Structure 1
């Protein structure tokens, strides 16, 4: 949810706000967004997905990072500052790492929905990730035990690649051979 709609917040002010806050704050072109504290189920799903991605990528050139870890989206074609904290990021281009964040565009991002921030992940971040060229975007909904996978097409638009609810397996298009079992991911 956006903290302020009425005025522009400079990048410097954003960093000051973060220093004084325990909240997870994101910054998209002058608007500060606050992420809610994750639920127990959210954390279980995140932990299981992290294990799945991490084990799959053990001998791969890509790495998996989980929140809280800043991703500063950067593209030569796009102006503005976007600092997001995805639940999971799979990063294959190692050139963007700094001591405190990654600057660039991850290959794959996973967001796990919470009741209070669904529109942020389903609309704002979906459009943002598509615009920046994140090749694959997973939206995980622990409230209805579903996973939707979007893949960037040749026109630079997201197409729904897979959607599953309750049980079955969801696969990645860009991580050839990677899949997750929904019953394992959403088990209580």
Structure 2
């Protein structure tokens, strides 16, 4: 993930650029970041995770949204504007929907790493999501065939709740009973493409 421009811009400038661009652009405190185009493996993993989460959530009150869908993070304890485009968002609080985006804090976010966005997702977004109160953050690393699940603890800090590499099932703290077999979504020793 690299900055779109090196200067600070206003939220209005960001929206003006977005209207005239097909690129996936995120806005965090005056900096606009451009997401790389996803790889084939990224898309396969994303699609398979969407199906698994979607089937689990069917009939419940939470909804799944996949990229590209804008989330404007909003929390009364946080300042500044942040507009992100997570790979997968699960939203349980329906009060923040607008015609254009969701304004609020998703309950769960999944980001699938690309070689160029690892530090952005592992540092910037992890801290951003923790500070805004995203209850669970899944980091999928296709290069290592790994999933790490971070969940908020009693002090509203992320703890590593689960992590699997190459095989096994990763489980959700937030959604009791939800688990994903790494091989079933293309994360195993034999799926390095």
Give the TM bin, normalised by the shorter chain. over 0.9
Name the counterpart of 1:59. 59
- State the Cα deviation string for residues 6-46 of structure 1 (Å, max 9, x = none): x2101111011111211100000100000000000000000
Pairs aligned (count): 187
Secondary structure at the counterpart of residue 72 of structure 2: strand
Which of structure 1's runs of 4+ aligned residues deviate more than 6 A? none
Give the superposition deviation at 1:108.
0.3
Using the TM superposition, give the Cα deviation of residue 4 of structure 1 relative to its aligned residue in structure 2, in angstroms: 2.7
Question: C-alpha separation between the residues in 1 aligned to 2:20 and 2:118?
Answer: 26
Alpha-carbon distance between aligned partners in 1 of 2:163 and 2:118, rounded to the nearest angstrom: 17
- C-alpha distance in 1, partners of 2:5/2:157? 29
* Residue 31 of structure 2 is aligned to residue 31 of structure 1: yes
- Tell me the residue number matched to 1:143: 143
Equivalent residue for 2:132? 132
Q: CA deviation at 1:133?
A: 0.4
Aligned equivalent of 2:5: 4
Matches within 5 A, 1:1-188: 1-5=2-6, 7-186=7-186
Q: Which has the higher strand share?
A: 1
1-structure distance, mates of 2:168, 2:118: 23
Q: Distance in 1 between matches of 2:33 and 2:154?
A: 30
User: Secondary structure at the residue paired with 1:79?
Assistant: coil
